[in-house]
Amino acid sequence: MEFQIVVANESHFGYAQEICDHMEASAKQRGTGIAKRYPEYICKKMTEGKAVIALKGDEFAGFCYIETWGHGKYVANSGLIVKETMRQSGLAKKIKSSVFELSRQKYPEAKIFGITTSAAVMKINSELGYKPVPFADLTDDEEFWAGCKSCSNHDILQRTQRKYCLCTGMLYDPVKEKNTVDADKTDRKVAIHARWMQMKADMLLEQEATAQAQDGQKTEQKAGFVSPRYDIMPN
């Protein structure tokens, strides 16, 4: 299937109610809750340029949006949804990758996080560089956690004093990721340099061995040389 994935804007307001309906139906189907969203909120994200939408022609296919917390220090990619008839097509991964890149462009220094009960989303997050973390490593912004109140599992979050729930917390830290990449690059440079120095040493040793062999042959030739005039035995 051919999909068009774009940053959502005002021209996509007509899909807002359908998006909310799919989010609610998906939550009920899984038996776990996600914070309920309303068309007005979805339209607000579209206006701000903080959402991506997937379409197949004019038909809605999928959606995801960006939320910021802690004065922009934390970013969440939320509300990932793919229309049921268009699942198993790799679309969820494409949408998640698109909204992840949009988040990195808008908030390059922010930590990107999410909480989810979906194994498929966890797999996609892992491929993007997210790591599983305890809730304590996520934003402490009360407004974010207030969004969990409409979830059917909110009582678990309350009973555990927000230490854990059925959702898994996942976090992408751009600083740690950069340090890891830089360390990998340094290790590769060191390894390449070490291989080059070893090759150079091997070449020098081979040249030295060849020179010694040639010198040995010359010495042997000199030691075994006899002038032709003394080569005739007397009668």
Whether 58 is in a domain gets the answer yes
Question: Both tokens of residue 55?
Answer: 């379409």
pLDDT tens digits, residue range 91-134?
999 999 999 999 999 999 999 999 988 888 899 999 999 999 99
Flag whether 199 is in a domain: no
In a domain, 144, yes or no: yes
Three-state DSSP state, 56: strand
Which token pair is 233?
Answer: 């035995």
Which residues span the domain enclosing 141?
4-172
What are the tens digits of pLDDT across the range 135-177?
Answer: 999 999 998 998 888 788 889 999 999 988 988 999 999 998 7
- Beta bridge pairs of residue 169: 115
In a domain, 202, yes or no: no
Residue 141 φ then ψ, to 5°: -65, 115
What's the confidence (pLDDT) of residue 190?
62
- Cα angle 179, 181, 186 (rounded to 5 degrees) comes to 90
Strand, coil or helix: 59: strand
Structure tokens at 166: 């059925």
CATH number of the domain encompassing residue 155? 3.40.630.30
Assigned domain for 211 exists: no
Three-state DSSP at 218 gives helix
Q: Which residue has the tokens 């999410």?
A: 114
Number of structural domains (the chain) is 1
d(CA 146, CA 143): 5
Among the residue ranges 39-43, 52-56, 190-194, 209-213, the one predicted with the least confidence is 190-194
| 116: in domain | yes
Is residue 23 domain-resident? yes
pLDDT value for 220 = 57
Q: How many CB atoms lie within 10 A of CB 221?
A: 9
Write down the pLDDT at residue 177. Answer: 78
Residue 195 lies in a domain: no
Beta strands in the chain (DSSP E): 4-7, 51-56, 59-69, 74-82, 111-116, 131-132, 168-172
**Mean pLDDT in the chain?**
84
Q: Which phi and psi (to 5°) does residue 212 adopt?
A: -65, -40
